[in-house]
A and B are shown apart, each in its own frame.
Chain A
Amino acid sequence: METKFRALAYVLGDNIDTDQIIPAQYLVYNPAVPEEYRMFGRYALSGVPRDRAGLPSGGVPFVRDGEYSTDYQVVIAGKNFGCGSSREHAPIALNAAGVKAVIAESYARIFFRNAVNGGYLVPLETDERLIEAVRTGDLVEVDIDGCRLVNLATGQTFRLKPLGDVRPIIEAGGLFRYAERSGLLKR
């Protein structure tokens, strides 16, 4: 797990559901096939209505037309990120697009679990209303061990919550490696 990194931020609102993260028509791709896995990156966050895509201005495509990865490796969102369906295609889409971490005020349970157990990205939480303090395109520094996020564009620092009891799973790289390391899975 990379514990400290800098990346451009992409900012979204509250209740970003899995249909906005990856619209249902793209679920026909099979993530177990590598060429199809890439397609999820191409359409990541393509369901977010235009005026809310990349706050505060909106109208910022997360992935440029025809590309497979994003310029924004940190997604910042409000409450209840990833609500809706249980599709693992949602954290897969963000991972395929190159996202390293999402920072939200809260998560829907299944999205959080899928992100952790699949080892796709680090879902971080904060009590701060970051979506009003960071603008899409700002360079931010995420410091997981230090539990903080610095907006390098403004110099402001914000507190992040510690990862808590899922940290060992994230560090192991997902459920399977965690279960192996802890002796629960013998193969």
Chain B
Amino acid sequence: MGMTITEKILARASGKPAVQPGENVWVNVDVLMTHDVCGPGTIGVFKQHFGPDARVWDRTKVVIIPDHYIFTRDEKARRNIEILREFVREQQLPYYYDVGTERYKGVCHIALPEEGHTRPGEVLLGTDSHTCTAGAFGEFATGIGNTDAGFVLGTGKLWLKVPPTLRFIFTGDPPAWLMAKDLILAVIGRIGCDGATYMAMEFTGEAVFGLGKIAAEFAGQPISDRPVGFSPAIEERMTLCNMVIEAGGKNGVIAPDEVTEQFVRERTQAAGTRTDFEPVHNDPDARFAAEYRFDVRTLEPMVARPHSPEHAVPVSDAVGEPLDRAYIGSCTGGKVLDLIAAAKVLRGRSVAIPTFIVPATTEIERAMDRIRLNGQTLREIFESSGCIIGPPSCGACLGGPLDTLGRLNEPLRCISSTNRNFPGRMGHKEAQVFLASPLTVAASAVAGRIADPRDVLN
């Protein structure tokens, strides 16, 4: 019987000729990622079970990226970074991106591909639910807890249940204003925030491979000091896979193509990480648990109302609803393409409500000074429209310590390009968070209420 991409990756990783959905298998892990929030607990589990002098199973497969609580005076948060540092020293880990150094990156899920740690066909596990983002590179990537991660640190292995695959097929030529964020909100609105529990979600169809038009003119341009080009298509694929967890999905996956392979080759070469990989594709007779079709010509920009991503509605149903604040950032909506999209709306306009821009990584922060629209850099556009720009990190996406820039410390109504709007996610329990694409967030920031970006762009 034929296998899906996810099944094939798990078969190979478990050394079996074939696996079936529902089967429990022990897989060999290619990359284990952790960060400052879950790293200390993971290290604790590792030491408790393997002993104080134990060594990690493979130094070159462990990646540690502090990103959550960075720009805070909270003492425990700083202590946690110290625990990471100590562990990295002791284990001599080559892939650590320390705070306050040249190497500092920011949000782990964006840093991973930037630093050459994502490759088609591999198994990537991370102590963060949005590890699923890397499915955009045609790999199996999912979030795990501290116990699982501690086990992987010592053994390089973990048991996983092979998920059945749901297939989402997007047809039609996507208009420039339609972003990956709109597509994934439409999916979650259709299947619900537990609609893909225990399942893999594959995204396919011509529209998926045609995303990123809003920044198409910048494709291939260098955005950092590295010889690597900007890929709008890859960034949009990352956004799609990023939010599968908001539908309960175990992993998201997009078949690797020439764009993926070029991106991975450039990035791994520039970073000096492993460059070999073996892409896998669905067998012609692969079986899917269900198929959902979306014609992108019938989709609108989407907004998810409080307090769940499944409360997604077309923007026209929400236009005019009042807002107090806007936020653009995170692994979902703080990438280069997201900032270009926002800048296209904000150029020559002023925001009517406090608006925060937090680039996901230092590389994206540098891109803000390199990329120009009509002569103005993205940073100049944001500053002259009245936005507040924060340093790269998770920022207020998950609230965080009370002194986090942009955190909702009061019961405000905020529109955000992030991924979750459950109660309290961005700070205050009674705050109301609306999720939308960076285009919609920027248009709403200008209007001071929920607005349709198509009205601004046209």
A interface, CB within 8 angstroms of B: 15, 17, 19-20, 23-25, 27-33, 36, 47-50, 79-80, 83-89, 91, 106-110, 113-114, 117-118, 165, 174-176, 179, 184-185, 187
Contact = CB atoms under 8 A, between A and B. Distances in A.
Q: Which 8 A-B pairs have the closest CB atoms?
A: A32-B44, A88-B145, A114-B145, A86-B143, A28-B76, A80-B194, A86-B129, A17-B422
B308 A108 contact: no
Tier of interface size on chain B = 35 or more
Nearest to A115: B145
Nearest to A178: B159
Interface in B64-104: 68-69, 74, 76-77, 79-80, 83
A93 to B, nearest CB: 12
A109 B429 contact: no
B376 interface: no
Interface of B: 24, 26, 37-38, 40-41, 43-45, 47-51, 68-69, 74, 76-77, 79-80, 83, 127-129, 131, 143-148, 151, 155, 157, 159, 193-194, 197-198, 245, 248, 250, 308, 398-402, 420, 422-425, 429-430
Nearest to A120: B147
Contacts of B79: 30
Contacts of B399: 19, 23-25
Contact of A47 (B38, B131, B155, B423): B423
A106 B127 contact: no
A184 B50 contact: no
A122 B191 CA distance: 28
B144 A110 contact: yes
A176 B193 contact: no
Contact of B129 (A15, A27, A110, A176): A110
Contact of B423 (A29, A49, A108, A175): A49
B128 A31 contact: no
A110 B145 contact: yes
Contact of B38 (A36, A88, A106): A88
B400 A24 contact: yes
A187 B47 CA distance: 13
B423 A19 contact: yes
Contacts of A84: 129, 245, 420, 422, 425
18 contacts: A17-B422, A27-B69, A30-B41, A31-B41, A31-B44, A33-B44, A47-B423, A47-B424, A49-B430, A84-B245, A84-B422, A85-B129, A87-B145, A106-B197, A109-B250, A114-B148, A185-B155, A187-B49
A187 B46 CA distance: 13
Contacts of B145: 86-88, 91, 110, 113-114, 117-118
B86 to A, nearest CB: 13
A184 B157 CA distance: 10
Given A17-B425, A30-B44, 15 more contacts: A19-B399, A24-B398, A28-B74, A28-B76, A49-B429, A85-B129, A85-B398, A86-B128, A86-B145, A109-B250, A110-B145, A165-B24, A175-B148, A176-B147, A179-B151
